[in-house]
Amino acid sequence: MLFTITGKHVTITDALRAYAEEKTSKLPRYYSGINQVEVILDGNDTGAHVAVEIIARGEHSNVFVATENGEDAYQCIDAAVHKLEEQLRRKKTKERDDKHVGGREREIQ
Protein backbone atom coordinates (compact mmCIF):
# COMPACT_ATOMS: atom_id res chain seq x y z
CA MET A 1 0.00 0.00 0.00
CA LEU A 2 1.33 3.40 -0.98
CA PHE A 3 1.31 5.98 1.85
CA THR A 4 1.72 9.75 1.39
CA ILE A 5 1.54 12.50 4.00
CA THR A 6 1.49 16.20 3.13
CA GLY A 7 1.54 19.25 5.38
CA LYS A 8 0.24 22.68 4.46
CA HIS A 9 1.37 25.38 6.89
CA VAL A 10 2.38 22.55 9.26
CA THR A 11 5.70 20.82 9.83
CA ILE A 12 5.37 17.05 9.63
CA THR A 13 7.45 15.47 12.39
CA ASP A 14 8.71 11.90 12.29
CA ALA A 15 6.41 11.01 15.18
CA LEU A 16 3.37 12.45 13.38
CA ARG A 17 4.31 10.64 10.17
CA ALA A 18 4.75 7.32 12.01
CA TYR A 19 1.47 7.78 13.87
CA ALA A 20 -0.51 8.53 10.70
CA GLU A 21 1.10 5.62 8.86
CA GLU A 22 0.38 3.23 11.74
CA LYS A 23 -3.29 4.24 11.94
CA THR A 24 -3.92 4.13 8.19
CA SER A 25 -2.07 0.84 7.70
CA LYS A 26 -5.05 -0.91 9.31
CA LEU A 27 -7.53 0.30 6.66
CA PRO A 28 -7.10 -2.68 4.29
CA ARG A 29 -8.47 -4.82 7.12
CA TYR A 30 -11.90 -3.26 6.46
CA TYR A 31 -11.73 -3.20 2.66
CA SER A 32 -9.04 -5.18 0.90
CA GLY A 33 -9.14 -3.13 -2.29
CA ILE A 34 -7.31 -0.14 -0.75
CA ASN A 35 -3.98 0.44 -2.50
CA GLN A 36 -3.15 4.10 -1.77
CA VAL A 37 -3.68 6.35 1.26
CA GLU A 38 -2.97 10.08 1.32
CA VAL A 39 -3.04 12.14 4.53
CA ILE A 40 -3.20 15.94 4.22
CA LEU A 41 -2.64 18.08 7.32
CA ASP A 42 -3.60 21.73 6.98
CA GLY A 43 -2.88 24.18 9.76
CA ASN A 44 -3.36 27.90 10.12
CA ASP A 45 -0.60 30.42 10.76
CA THR A 46 -1.01 30.41 14.54
CA GLY A 47 -0.89 26.62 14.77
CA ALA A 48 -3.94 26.44 17.02
CA HIS A 49 -6.21 24.78 14.47
CA VAL A 50 -5.54 21.71 12.30
CA ALA A 51 -7.60 20.14 9.54
CA VAL A 52 -6.92 16.55 8.54
CA GLU A 53 -8.10 14.97 5.31
CA ILE A 54 -7.51 11.30 4.54
CA ILE A 55 -8.06 10.04 1.01
CA ALA A 56 -8.08 6.28 0.44
CA ARG A 57 -8.01 5.11 -3.15
CA GLY A 58 -9.00 1.59 -4.04
CA GLU A 59 -9.51 -0.71 -6.96
CA HIS A 60 -12.09 0.13 -9.63
CA SER A 61 -11.83 3.90 -9.02
CA ASN A 62 -13.24 3.69 -5.50
CA VAL A 63 -12.28 6.81 -3.55
CA PHE A 64 -13.06 7.30 0.13
CA VAL A 65 -12.54 10.68 1.85
CA ALA A 66 -12.75 11.63 5.53
CA THR A 67 -12.05 15.05 7.04
CA GLU A 68 -11.74 16.27 10.61
CA ASN A 69 -11.00 19.66 12.19
CA GLY A 70 -9.64 20.30 15.66
CA GLU A 71 -6.81 21.55 17.79
CA ASP A 72 -4.77 18.34 18.15
CA ALA A 73 -3.44 16.64 15.00
CA TYR A 74 -3.32 13.21 16.64
CA GLN A 75 -6.97 13.35 17.69
CA CYS A 76 -7.97 14.58 14.25
CA ILE A 77 -6.13 11.66 12.62
CA ASP A 78 -7.90 9.22 14.97
CA ALA A 79 -11.32 10.70 14.20
CA ALA A 80 -10.75 10.78 10.44
CA VAL A 81 -9.51 7.17 10.42
CA HIS A 82 -12.61 6.15 12.39
CA LYS A 83 -14.86 7.87 9.82
CA LEU A 84 -13.00 6.15 7.02
CA GLU A 85 -13.32 2.75 8.71
CA GLU A 86 -17.10 3.21 8.81
CA GLN A 87 -17.20 4.09 5.10
CA LEU A 88 -15.10 1.05 4.21
CA ARG A 89 -17.19 -1.24 6.40
CA ARG A 90 -20.40 -0.04 4.71
CA LYS A 91 -18.90 -0.52 1.23
CA LYS A 92 -17.75 -4.04 2.04
CA THR A 93 -21.17 -4.92 3.49
CA LYS A 94 -22.94 -3.64 0.38
CA GLU A 95 -20.67 -5.66 -1.89
CA ARG A 96 -21.25 -8.83 0.12
CA ASP A 97 -25.03 -8.31 0.22
CA ASP A 98 -25.23 -7.62 -3.50
CA LYS A 99 -23.50 -10.88 -4.34
CA HIS A 100 -26.10 -13.04 -2.62
CA VAL A 101 -29.37 -11.32 -3.50
CA GLY A 102 -30.76 -13.28 -6.45
CA GLY A 103 -30.02 -16.93 -5.78
CA ARG A 104 -32.34 -17.89 -2.93
CA GLU A 105 -35.35 -15.78 -3.90
CA ARG A 106 -35.77 -17.53 -7.24
CA GLU A 107 -35.87 -20.97 -5.62
CA ILE A 108 -38.59 -19.95 -3.11
CA GLN A 109 -41.00 -18.46 -5.67
> In the chain, pLDDT over 90 holds for what percent of residues?
64
Residue 97, pLDDT score: 80
87: pLDDT confidence band, cut at 50, 70 and 90?
A: very high
Rounded to an integer, the average pLDDT of 75-101 is 88
- Looking at domain 2-98, its CATH architecture is 2-Layer Sandwich (3.30)
Backbone angles phi, psi at 27, to 5 degrees: -65, -40
Residue 61, pLDDT score: 87
Higher pLDDT, 55 or 108: 55
Q: Fill in the amino acid letter for 80.
A: A
Local structure of 98: helix, strand or coil: helix
Beta strand extents in 14-104 (DSSP E only): 34-43, 50-58, 63-70
Phi-psi region of 21 (alpha: psi -120 to 50; beta: other; left: phi over 0): alpha
- Flag whether pLDDT at 108 surpasses 60: no
- Flag whether pLDDT at 17 surpasses 80: yes
